[in-house]
């Protein structure tokens, strides 16, 4: 053979197939990088304390706020080419909006005043302006206000608010036994037993107990009410007087969460504020129709729902895969089961949601209400959407993934190990439990990873089985019975959809949507990494057992 026709050994030829796969891999990684870049940059706007600018226009108007966006305006018959900037002006109660487009050609002067503050409030969004004076809880006026003098005022107002919340909680706990007795009396009056003499005596006895308990707690409730009135009176005195342009207004300290001087911050200070804002974003509840505040209820609901779904789908999927692989004989029933699993994997999620609504909510939940909560009907307890039914619906949606991955793991275990264990006297169940399942556990965890990855992002089934825009309480709390599986819940996927598509204030909600998306991606990444680490350790442990 001529030297020109010699092919070097060990050097693969770069053919069209290899080139196509390499380009596809690079394209996928590039798209993933672009996705993370877009989400990360837009989410950072929610946490990073941007500087506040003051724009003076040629018509005399003054616009103060943060620059959110900048767009190019092409030329037309009346105007030359220009740019416009989107300014977050806040002060919604004054102007009726909190974002304003300003053409750069209309701006005569741009400043970054050091005295301008950003005020984060519990209502009406963000406020911008200059602090003129402040009043403390005793009504004394402070004409000179800076960060050092304002911090104790806000701290005192926060302590009074916390004390007020504690007092209201104490009053609710005192009234709770009376509420239970009143509910029991109302239920008894609606029953047929109330028409009998014994029923009348029971109702009268409950009424006497209500009156006795009311008289006993009346002094405590009156003392709590007096203290609450004193706290409310002190809080009504404390306020900030802020000037926004030519408008002065008084902002109660009770409605202020934080005051910042963003134009005086160093980069290190901004980074620290960014980290603190991210922490608050994770633990605070949402405000202002989910356009302000945090995402804790949605984050908690997502994690709790995934936990319940995993507890439901893992036994069901693993047992199904074990039976189909280890016990079922080849034949038509097994082929039908294979086809059913494959078809179930291809069913649209909204169809699974309809099934969950019909079977779990109306069927099982309605039956539970008729048997155990008949006195509460027609108000449903379990016969309406809740986190339990949503978790079971998603378990049904993801069970094919667990079955297929578990079957792959079981099939990968060599037949010789089964036969060797049984030759040593082990039963079929002992062989399955001690030899086959440990070796197939990486495949089982792979199925769990894929199931969680799909369940976390599903929204359509949840809209029919229990997710809500704003849940008044969590499904898990510190008082008995602790777990409330019948309660509706918030979910990060639906939260993002609602903020992005249903928010009345789109511009204010956009950074919130990206920030929640970043947290959702991080949650999926953390769950997957944990499962991957566990799977790797199991593989290493099983290899050591083999040696």
Report pLDDT digits (tens) over 460-515. Answer: 899 999 899 888 888 888 777 788 888 999 999 999 988 888 777 777 788 888 99
Q: Give the whole-angstrom CA distance, residue 339 versus residue 265.
A: 63
Whole-angstrom CA distances from 442 to 158, 226, 437 are 51, 63, 9
Q: Which of 446, 545, 541, 510 is nearest to 69 (CA)?
A: 510
Q: Give the whole-angstrom CA distance, residue 506 versus residue 419.
A: 64
Q: 399 forms bridges with which residues in the sheet?
A: none
DSSP structure string for 278-299? HHHHHHSPEETTTTEE--HHHH
Express each pLDDT in 114-135 by its tens digit: 999 999 988 888 889 899 889 8
Strands 82-88 and 247-252: unpaired
Contact 79, 55 (CB under 8 A): no
Express each pLDDT in 55-73 by its tens digit: 999 988 888 899 988 888 8
Q: Give the whole-angstrom CA distance, residue 229 versus residue 232.
A: 5
Express each pLDDT in 6-33 by its tens digit: 444 555 566 777 888 889 999 999 998 9
Helices (H), 108-146: none
pLDDT of residue 11: 58
Q: Per the structure block, which two tokens stand in for 304? A: 């709790």
Looking at the chain, how many residues does it have?
547
Instruction: Using the structure block, give the residue that is written with the tokens 């047929």.
Output: 192
Mean pLDDT lowest among 74-78, 439-443, 479-483, 499-503: 74-78
The pLDDT of residue 538 is above 80: no
The pLDDT of residue 80 is above 90: no
Q: Which of 507, 501, 305, 281 is nearest to 387 (CA)?
A: 305
Please indicate, yes or no, whether the overall pTM of this predicted structure exceeds 0.95: no
What SS3 state is found at 252?
strand
Instruction: Using the structure block, give the residue that is written with the tokens 């596809």.
Output: 24
The pLDDT of residue 5 is above 60: no
Q: 182 forms bridges with which residues in the sheet?
A: none
Strands 239-244 and 126-135: antiparallel
Instruction: Using the structure block, give the residue that is written with the tokens 């016969």.
Output: 383
Q: Give the whole-angstrom CA distance, residue 189 versus residue 123.
A: 43
Q: Per the structure block, which two tokens stand in for 394? A: 């998603």
The pLDDT of residue 286 is above 80: yes
> What's CA 64's distance to the chain center, in Å?
32
Would you state the torsion angle of the CA atoms of residues 73, 74, 76, 82, taken in this order, to the nearest 10 degrees? 50
Express each pLDDT in 161-201 by its tens digit: 999 989 998 888 888 888 877 777 776 676 665 567 777 77
The pLDDT of residue 1 is above 50: no
Q: Which run of H or E residues covers position 360?
A: none
pLDDT of residue 191: 65
Q: Which residue has the higher pLDDT, 27 or 438?
A: 27
Mean pLDDT over 277-287 rounds to 90
What SS3 state is found at 256?
strand
Q: Give the whole-angstrom CA distance, residue 329 versus residue 530.
A: 36
């Amino acid at each position: 053979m001529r030297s020109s026709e010699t092919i070097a050994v060990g050097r693969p030829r770069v053919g069209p197939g290899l080139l196509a796969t390499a380009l596809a891999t690079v394209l996928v990684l590039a798209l993933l990088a672009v996705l993370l870049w877009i989400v990360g940059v837009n989410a950072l706007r929610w946490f990073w304390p941007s500087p506040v600018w003051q724009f003076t226009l040629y018509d005399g108007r003054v616009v103060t706020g943060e620059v959110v966006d900048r767009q190019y305006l092409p030329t037309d018959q009346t105007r030359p080419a220009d740019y416009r900037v989107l300014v977050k002006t806040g002060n919604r109660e004054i102007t009726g909006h909190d974002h304003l487009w300003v053409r750069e050609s209309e701006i005569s002067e741009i400043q970054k005043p050091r005295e301008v503050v950003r005020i984060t409030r519990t209502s009406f969004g963000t406020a911008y302006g200059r602090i003129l004076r402040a009043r403390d809880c005793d009504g004394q006026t402070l004409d000179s206000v800076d960060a050092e003098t304002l911090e104790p005022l806000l701290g005192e107002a926060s302590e009074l608010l916390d004390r007020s919340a504690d007092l209201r909680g104490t009053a609710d706990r005192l009234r709770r036994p009376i509420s239970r007795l009143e509910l029991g009396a109302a239920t008894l009056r609606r029953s047929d037993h109330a028409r009998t003499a014994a029923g009348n005596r029971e109702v009268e006895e409950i009424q006497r107990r209500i009156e006795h308990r009311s008289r006993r707690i009346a002094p405590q409730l009156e003392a709590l009410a007096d203290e609450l009135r004193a706290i409310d009176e002190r809080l009504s005195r404390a306020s900030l007087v802020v000037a926004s342009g030519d408008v002065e207004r008084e902002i109660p300290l009770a409605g202020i969460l934080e005051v910042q001087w963003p134009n005086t911050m160093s980069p290190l200070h901004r980074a620290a504020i960014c980290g603190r804002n991210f922490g608050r974003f994770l633990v605070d509840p949402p405000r202002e129709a989910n356009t302000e505040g945090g995402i804790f209820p949605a984050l908690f609901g997502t994690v709790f729902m995934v936990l319940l779904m995993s507890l439901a789908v893992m036994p069901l999927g693993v047992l199904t895969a074990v039976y189909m692989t280890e016990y079922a004989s080849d034949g038509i029933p097994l082929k039908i089961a294979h086809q059913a699993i494959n078809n179930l994997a291809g069913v649209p999620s909204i169809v699974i949601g309809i099934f969950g609504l019909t079977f779990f909510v109306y069927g099982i939940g309605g039956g539970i209400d008729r048997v155990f909560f008949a006195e509460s009907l027609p108000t449903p307890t379990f016969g309406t959407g809740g986190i339990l039914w949503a978790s079971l619906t998603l378990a049904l949606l993801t069970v094919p993934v667990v079955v297929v991955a578990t079957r792959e793991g079981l099939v990968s275990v060599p037949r010789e190990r089964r036969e060797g264990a049984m030759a040593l006297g082990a039963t079929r169940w002992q062989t399955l439990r001690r030899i086959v399942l440990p070796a197939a556990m990486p495949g089982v965890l792979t199925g769990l990873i894929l199931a969680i990855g799909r369940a976390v992002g599903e929204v359509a089934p949840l809209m029919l089985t229990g997710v809500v825009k704003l849940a008044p309480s969590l499904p898990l709390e510190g008082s008995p019975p602790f777990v409330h599986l019948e309660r509706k819940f918030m979910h990060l996927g639906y939260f993002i959809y609602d903020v992005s598509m249903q928010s009345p204030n789109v511009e204010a909600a956009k950074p919130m949507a990206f920030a929640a998306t970043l947290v959702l991606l991080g949650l999926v990444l953390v769950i997957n990494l944990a499962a991957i680490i566990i799977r790797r350790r199991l593989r290493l442990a099983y290899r050591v057992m083999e040696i």
